[in-house]
Amino acid sequence: MNNSAKLRIAIQKSGRLSEDSLQLIKECGISFKNGIGALKAEATNFPMEFLLLRDDDIPGYVADGVADIGIVGENVLAEKQSHVVIAHKLGFSKCRLSIAVPKNESYEDVRQLEGKRIATSYPKILANFLQSNGVRADIHEISGSVEIAPGIGLADAVCDIVSSGSTLFINGLKEVEPIFYSEAVLIRRPEISEEQTALLNQLLFRIRSVQAARNNKYILLNAPESKVEVIKSLIPGMKSPSILPLAEPGWVSMHSVINENDFWEVIEKLQAEGAQGILVVPIEKMIV
């Protein structure tokens, strides 16, 4: 094994992906010293080097081998069509790419876009969508402030990133066709060395543990012994709950893990079954 092997990771220097990308790296236990304005940094406790770039450049740099892996939105990845592979979905920076039209215009279906001028920063994804729907329209590529294009007479519609929808609303537009759903993903170069693959697998293992911990909570409760079986079925946990006797006869303490998604529903059922003193605490890491 080549001990000098390391992974070069490209992350967004400053923008909507940066904070969550850095937080994930930190929760994976990887630290680095980043001088203000520096474009490169070395991890102090993992064979990893950081390149801090504009998000648009990340797929290309990973494809060209300047970086081995990178964190980028699926929207940018699909638009750049670079030769890279998605190694893992990261679940943050969720958004969608949608077509929007002036809000006082009626909109029935996609055929209405025939012959229209659509402003976008995502010409390839849009062209793909229009082609697969048999619609011919004029795509106007612009690099920013797409939402103002209809207001200044530059276009009849836009195709832009939407998150809460408030930017469209403020600009007198309404979302009519979501065409692409996106979240941040970890990408990799298809050809990385055996040593680098081992490092990537180490990183992926840590990322999965961080994600599992975020999605789960540790739960402790007191229950009458007669309810142990039914409560066990409500909080089965990773294998099965731990059960400890309480000093009070006829009662036990049960400990388990509960998923964030069914959290409130399960809590209500537990209360209905007579569980008391329910404590829910965050999990720091969960080895899955």
Write out the residues near ligand PRT by the rule CB under 6 A: 12, 15-17, 54-56, 73, 75-76, 93, 95, 160-167, 182
SS (HEC) of the chain: CCCCCCEEEEEECCCCCHHHHHHHHHHCCCCECCCCCCCEEEECCCCEEEEEECHHHHHHHHHHCCCCEEEEEHHHHHHHCCCCEEEEECCCCCEEEEEEEECCCCCCCHHHHCCCEEEECCHHHHHHHHHHCCCCCEEEECCCCHHHCCCCCCCCEEEEEECCCHHHHHCCEEEEEEEEEECEEEEECCCCCHHHHHHHHHHHHHHHHHHHHHHEEEEEEEEEHHHHHHHHHHCCCCCCCEEEECCCCCEEEEEEEEEHHHHHHHHHHHHHCCCEEEEEEECCCCCC
* Residue placing its CB nearer to ligand PRT in the complex, 15 or 277: 15
| CB of 125 vs ligand PRT, minimal distance in Å | 12
* Residue placing its CB nearer to ligand PRT in the complex, 87 or 252: 87
| Residue 55 engages Zn ion in binding (rule: CB under 5 A) | yes
Q: Which residue is nearest to ligand PRT (CB)?
A: 73
* Residue placing its CB nearer to ligand PRT in the complex, 27 or 56: 56
* Residue placing its CB nearer to ligand PRT in the complex, 95 or 213: 95
| CB of 242 vs Zn ion, minimal distance in Å | 48
| CB of 57 vs Zn ion, minimal distance in Å | 8
| Residue 142 engages Zn ion in binding (rule: CB under 5 A) | no
| Residue 56 engages Zn ion in binding (rule: CB under 5 A) | yes
**Span interacting with Zn ion, options 55-63, 85-93, 216-224, 248-256, rule CB under 5 A:** 55-63
